[in-house]
Structure 1
Amino acid sequence: MPVLQITDEGFRLDDQPFRIISGGLHYFRVHPGLWADRLRKARLMGLNTVETYVPWNLHQPRPDEFRLDGGLDLPAFLDLAAAEGLHVLLRPGPYICAEWEGGGLPSWLLADPDILLRSQDPRYLAAVEDFFGRLLPPLNRHLSTNGGPVLAVQVENEYGAYGDDTEHLAHLARSLRSHGVDVPLFTCDQPGDLVRGSLPGVLATANFGSRSEQGLAALRAHQPAGPLMCTEFWIGWFDRWGGHHVVRDPSQAAQELDALLATGASVNLYMFHGGTSFGFTNGANDKHTYRPTVGSYDYDSPLDEAGDPTEKYEAFRQVIAKYAPVPADPIPDPGPKTAAAGIRLGAHAPLFANLAALGAAVVAERPLTMEQLGQDFGFVLYECALPAAGPVLLELGTVRDRAQVFVDGQPVGVLERENHERAVAFTVPREGALLSVLVENQGRVNYGSGIHDRKGLLGRVLLDGAELTGWTSRPLPLDTLDGLSFTEDGPAQAGPTFHRGTVELDEVADSFLHLPGWTKGNVWVNGFHLGRHWSRGPQRSLYVPGPVLRQGSNEITVLELHAAHRALTVELRDIPDLGPTEE
């Protein structure tokens, strides 16, 4: 493929003027069996390029492990993009934000109690260097200089919103170059952060979702010559638990895109197709109050969560056609959907009765954090014997992020970081009663100084003002459920419980799992972790990719942390429910 050139007048490709018309498409938020479909629909909308981040925390889950397989087979994704005739903007971080758990930074970095992320801290730089050394060499054949689709590579991500250490950006740029990246580099920042986040000699780009002329004017004032580009043109937004489903009027978004393209600038739509933060991978924000993000990353995009064109798809296609060639193919039809009602989950496995199959307890005087336990995602169960019977006040140092408190298996309270809660009063029934605190990591903070977000119980635990010691900390990552022991058709147990059932399907396609009447927990289909369910909304259904389902028997497992639907049923429907929008 031709090589991108950056000149004072703009981009050139194959020695011809070139405008990047791109859209965000994160391979790690899309089932790999659907990559080709999404890429084809990107080309049919008129895009000539797609953009993707790279999630360090999934590719390198432990310092001595590295993955480029399955849903993380980035080389295969790049091959499919090239086969579709699409260029690629690659954004390998190491920090990516993306409303992704920890902004993509692996949790094991936080096992060091005073490490400074996104800085010149030698411990951080050594880890980044190791990551780049594993990631980039296998991608070198995909660079446009070697005939591949990758036109340009981003240095860090919106660094100006976090720091102003130019030497840190320069260090990362040198590292990219040392590992064979010889295509153009670029940075991206919001207009007010361009000075802090740009790097001399590297193309600066801006991020915004409206008022393009002002945003591009700020970019031109900062960078007097060279291409103008909006790397994140926000055409929708993400949702948080307890909020509403955010949407943006298609005609208004199309008008904003038209205004941007009319300036001659290049653009990357954020997002073209948002996809899903499956499993435990959603991030969170914390601007004095912790706000976890939902699992759906629909983002009100031109392609919805199931990959179907929306009104924005057609509206954007019409705008793009004013400025660039658009394929004559018709707009793709929505894909087929699978539905099945009244799926009964009649087998039960209480969490507390299956602890040995889920994780090994570690003994220590004080509760250990997830990072100390070598754990990325999921839950930690903390247990301790209470010294005496009677009324008590339990005070937890810091709850990260949601703690369910039990005494001898009976629930006595819930403490949420989001509500700044850290104390609960209850009566201890007997001397030696077992205190159990089940703590859920609801997503590490992905933006701002809060990224140093350690999980579990942090600090001392006090009982009536005296420190409570002698704990076990049991990691419950729930990365496999194979060892659970289910009881068929017995009465559902009180307390956190796994519920399992099967559904027979003649045909399989994408679907949406609905859990009316259930409260909070997680869902797996055929062992694939869809993500979290929570009755507080706004999201009230979970997207099920068609390749996860199979003809014949399909197994559905729901972890319910509180109260299950009385009938213990779930449904597969052909439409999602992402919640009410703001009027």
Structure 2
Amino acid sequence: MTFPDRVISGAVHYFRVHPDLWADRLARVAAMGLNTVETYVAWNFHSPAPGTYDFTGWRDLPRFVELAGEQGLQVLLRPGPYVCAEWDLGGLPAWLLRDPGLRLRCCDPAFLAAVDDYLDRLLPLVVPLQATRGGPVVAVQVENEYGSFGDDADYLRHVRDGLVGRGIDVPLFTSDGPGPDHLASGTLPGTLATVNFGSRVAEAFGELERFRPGEPKMCMELWHGWFDHWGEQHHTRDPGEAAAVLEEILAAGGSVNLYMAHGGTSFGLWSGANLEAGHQPTVTSYDYDAPVGEAGEITEKFHAFRTVIGRYAHLPEREPPALPPRLAPQTLPVERWAPFGAASAAWGDAVHGPAPRWMEEVGSGRGLVLYRGSVLVPPDGGRLVLEDLADRAHVFADDRLVGVVDPAEAAAGIELAPRPDGAPTRLELLVENRGRVNFGPGLGRDRKGVGAVRLGNRFVHGWQTVPIELDADGFTDAVAFGGEPAGEPAPTYAGVTVHVDAPADGFLALPGWGRGFVWLGGFLLGRYDEAGPQRTLYAPAPLWRAGANEVVVLEMAHVGERVELRDVSDLG
């Protein structure tokens, strides 16, 4: 079987779309004129712990692929093991970081053993879905943009051979930036090379032609939009300009995969981060300025792309589904409050040791981690230093908040005064993981939590490390709410009840609040941050129920007075 002649594809990540909406989103991108859909497979989405895998419900990859086939779409499958995707640790499981000696994305024996186990679990589900077996999967990718990371050709061969040896017999491909060094380091002989870019089509395809003369030309990621970081600008791209690049690709006889066709949402704590101008966490929304918006909107870019595609391929006669209904706006004053410790029943078991433990060592590695210890502060005071903090810490001394620090501030230290009675000062360090780096040389180097604690030059020993997994099932059930504000500085829980007549799409906003997390009916929608640009969190219809719906907020900075339910999104 050879690679399809003309692929007009678009990316839709099953892990960023509620499974009840998979069919709707696939119908929308098919109506744009695509003949193929592409998805990554996020290893960490399926494997919360070593040897544990889940391919059911939201994680039912075969069902997503089958639904694509029912829409008449071929499927390009990109199983990694690394996927980037602005997803936590680029899709690699955080439990890999428990071994400080393990090296990612190379021929480290421990890493290869984990990759092999992943492929052993995944590929029996994929093999029957291949086009060679009558299924929709027409091609499978080997690793992802490896030429931007390393040059271990033996590792790439190991992944390729692992795919083939486990029954993958559709064409294989790689994808990389179009630079000659990227292509040289990220490709394999006998495997189709594709390139990723957002403009300068002739230059990119020219580089690919020089590297692989006469091979099919495919842009595996046409970056017609972009993602956002907290505290930075919201990215959009002119639809006409983006459509012109698409037209240039198709006019040159090339194939294309729109990245993204529908971006969706990085619900919960799955957003990744970059490490170019310090730690840059990615927002919850993955709208990506895609032709099908985060909530299924049919955009101007959709119509521009459809017009271009219609000049090079037969367009389906069907129209995209109508926009799903929206909930009516409401303003909801906070009804219930609770201090941070009110959810302690949902915290993990404390791990005792002489030094703080990394978050990845004591649980899922997502959410928060609480360190408890004590230190004897001398009569002239001392400076408390947190080494290798990742990413932000609330520091409490004898139950009093003495600082909220980032890594630079933590390294500079917080001045502590001695207790009047001369006793040791009780310390609590609440550390927030804001997302692991998903691209570049920082990948795997930002284990979360605190590496060590010092008072001046003296290390502080004797710690309890408590994992607080905010996305665990039933987490908010443990919050013991009262009726009045907690009267304490954040972190603080707040609760409101939203009454709706029938489930529909909505957007939650928190004007006047600082930053934190929002749950709907016990499901963690994601993060919010007054730094923007994202101002609303998408709450899709399947998460609502007719009648009363509980919204829980964990505010980490300063509380507001109300929560707003809106009928339009605000991404900045």
Q: TM-score, normalised by structure 1?
A: 0.94
Tell me, in whole angstroms, the C-alpha distance in 1 between the residues paired with 2:120 and 2:20.
Answer: 28
Which of 374-383 and 274-283 deviates more? 374-383
Which of 351-360 and 81-90 deviates more? 351-360
Tell me, in whole angstroms, the C-alpha distance in 1 between the residues paired with 2:410 and 2:155.
Answer: 34
The answer for unaligned runs of 5 or more in structure 2 is: none
Q: What displacement does 1:485 show?
A: 4.0
- Of residues 315, 320, 325 in structure 2, which corresponds to 1:336? 325
Q: What displacement does 1:335 show?
A: 2.5
Tell me, in whole angstroms, the C-alpha distance in 1 between the residues paired with 2:412 and 2:541.
Answer: 42
Match of 2:219 in 1: 230
Tell me, in whole angstroms, the C-alpha distance in 2 between the residues paired with 1:100 and 1:457.
Answer: 19
> 1:261-298: per-residue Cα shift (whole Å, max 9, x none)?
11000000000001000100000011361111111100
Aligned residue pairs, count: 564
Tell me, in whole angstroms, the C-alpha distance in 2 between the residues paired with 1:263 and 1:417.
Answer: 49
Is the aligned partner of 1:41 residue 2:28?
A: yes
- Of residues 445, 450, 458 in structure 1, which corresponds to 2:442? 450
1:69-80 to structure 2, matched below 5 A, reads 69-80=56-67
Q: What displacement does 1:491 show?
A: 2.5
Is the aligned partner of 1:560 residue 2:560?
A: no
| Matching residue's letter, 1:253 | A
The answer for unaligned runs of 5 or more in structure 1 is: 12-17
| Matching residue's letter, 1:286 | L
Seen in structure 2, the aligned counterparts of structure 1 residues 127 and 146 have a Cα distance that, compared at 3 Å, is: same
> 1:270-329: per-residue Cα shift (whole Å, max 9, x none)?
000010001000000113611111111000000111011111000000000000011223
Match of 1:147 in 2: 134
Q: What displacement does 1:418 show?
A: 7.6
Seen in structure 2, the aligned counterparts of structure 1 residues 352 and 473 have a Cα distance that, compared at 3 Å, is: same
Q: What displacement does 1:539 show?
A: 0.9
Sequence identity percentage: 49
- Of residues 366, 374, 394 in structure 2, which corresponds to 1:404? 394
Is the aligned partner of 1:423 residue 2:420?
A: no
Tell me, in whole angstroms, the C-alpha distance in 2 between the residues paired with 1:515 and 1:428.
Answer: 39
> 1:554-581: per-residue Cα shift (whole Å, max 9, x none)?
110111112110x2x20110111111xx
Q: What displacement does 1:389 show?
A: 6.7
Which of 208-217 and 456-465 deviates more? 456-465
Q: What displacement does 1:492 show?
A: 2.9
Match of 2:101 in 1: 114
Match of 1:253 in 2: 242
> 1:121-167: per-residue Cα shift (whole Å, max 9, x none)?
01000000000000110121111110000000000000000011111
Which secondary structure does the structure 1 equivalent of 2:383 belong to? strand
Tell me, in whole angstroms, the C-alpha distance in 1 between the residues paired with 2:197 and 2:244.
Answer: 14
Match of 1:489 in 2: 483
CA contact (8 A) 1:363 1:470 kept: yes
Match of 2:352 in 1: 363
Q: What displacement does 1:215 show?
A: 0.4
Q: What displacement does 1:507 show?
A: 2.5
Is the aligned partner of 1:5 residue 2:2?
A: yes
CA contact (8 A) 2:385 2:411 kept: no
Which secondary structure does the structure 2 equivalent of 1:456 belong to? coil
Match of 1:15 in 2: none
Is the aligned partner of 1:395 residue 2:385?
A: yes
Is the aligned partner of 1:515 residue 2:510?
A: yes
Is the aligned partner of 1:578 residue 2:571?
A: yes
- Of residues 490, 506, 513 in structure 1, which corresponds to 2:501? 506
Is the aligned partner of 1:530 residue 2:525?
A: yes
Which secondary structure does the structure 1 equivalent of 2:156 belong to? helix
Match of 1:14 in 2: none
1:131-210 to structure 2, matched below 5 A, reads 131-192=118-179, 193-210=182-199
Seen in structure 2, the aligned counterparts of structure 1 residues 353 and 35 have a Cα distance that, compared at 3 Å, is: closer
Tell me, in whole angstroms, the C-alpha distance in 2 between the residues paired with 1:102 and 1:387.
Answer: 38
- Of residues 347, 360, 363 in structure 2, which corresponds to 1:374? 363
Seen in structure 2, the aligned counterparts of structure 1 residues 289 and 418 have a Cα distance that, compared at 3 Å, is: farther
CA contact (8 A) 2:297 2:323 kept: yes
Q: What displacement does 1:434 show?
A: 1.7
Tell me, in whole angstroms, the C-alpha distance in 2 between the residues paired with 1:505 and 1:490.
Answer: 25
Tell me, in whole angstroms, the C-alpha distance in 2 between the residues paired with 1:38 and 1:439.
Answer: 37
| Matching residue's letter, 1:402 | R
CA contact (8 A) 2:377 2:417 kept: no
| Matching residue's letter, 2:266 | S
Seen in structure 2, the aligned counterparts of structure 1 residues 389 and 490 have a Cα distance that, compared at 3 Å, is: farther
Q: What displacement does 1:78 show?
A: 0.8
Which secondary structure does the structure 1 equivalent of 2:451 belong to? strand
CA contact (8 A) 2:147 2:176 kept: yes
Seen in structure 2, the aligned counterparts of structure 1 residues 307 and 429 have a Cα distance that, compared at 3 Å, is: farther
| Matching residue's letter, 1:358 | W
| Matching residue's letter, 2:184 | V
| RMSD between aligned residues | 1.6
- Of residues 531, 534, 559 in structure 2, which corresponds to 1:539? 534
> 1:165-191: per-residue Cα shift (whole Å, max 9, x none)?
111111100000111111000000001
Tell me, in whole angstroms, the C-alpha distance in 1 between the residues paired with 2:479 and 2:169.
Answer: 54
Is the aligned partner of 1:97 residue 2:92?
A: no
| Matching residue's letter, 2:426 | L
Which secondary structure does the structure 2 equivalent of 1:448 belong to? coil
CA contact (8 A) 1:382 1:471 kept: yes
CA contact (8 A) 1:500 1:556 kept: yes
Tell me, in whole angstroms, the C-alpha distance in 2 between the residues paired with 1:362 and 1:57.
Answer: 24
CA contact (8 A) 1:348 1:493 kept: no
Is the aligned partner of 1:347 residue 2:336?
A: yes
- Of residues 262, 283, 287 in structure 2, which corresponds to 1:294? 283
Which secondary structure does the structure 2 equivalent of 1:264 belong to? coil
- Of residues 13, 36, 58 in structure 2, which corresponds to 1:26? 13
Q: TM-score, normalised by structure 2?
A: 0.96
Tell me, in whole angstroms, the C-alpha distance in 2 between the residues paired with 1:92 and 1:571.
Answer: 39
Tell me, in whole angstroms, the C-alpha distance in 1 between the residues paired with 2:508 and 2:38.
Answer: 29
Which secondary structure does the structure 1 equivalent of 2:304 belong to? helix
Which secondary structure does the structure 2 equivalent of 1:533 belong to? strand
Which secondary structure does the structure 2 equivalent of 1:126 belong to? helix
> 1:492-536: per-residue Cα shift (whole Å, max 9, x none)?
341312212211101221111000011111111011110011111
| Matching residue's letter, 1:410 | R
1:426-441 to structure 2, matched below 5 A, reads 426-430=416-420, 431-441=423-433
Q: What displacement does 1:419 show?
A: 7.3
Q: What displacement does 1:537 show?
A: 0.9
> 1:386-411: per-residue Cα shift (whole Å, max 9, x none)?
31376431111111111111112221
Seen in structure 2, the aligned counterparts of structure 1 residues 164 and 388 have a Cα distance that, compared at 3 Å, is: closer
Tell me, in whole angstroms, the C-alpha distance in 2 between the residues paired with 1:488 and 1:466.
Answer: 41
Tell me, in whole angstroms, the C-alpha distance in 2 between the residues paired with 1:209 and 1:77.
Answer: 27
Which secondary structure does the structure 2 equivalent of 1:371 belong to? helix
Match of 2:452 in 1: 460
Which secondary structure does the structure 1 equivalent of 2:503 belong to? coil
Tell me, in whole angstroms, the C-alpha distance in 2 between the residues paired with 1:432 and 1:499.
Answer: 33
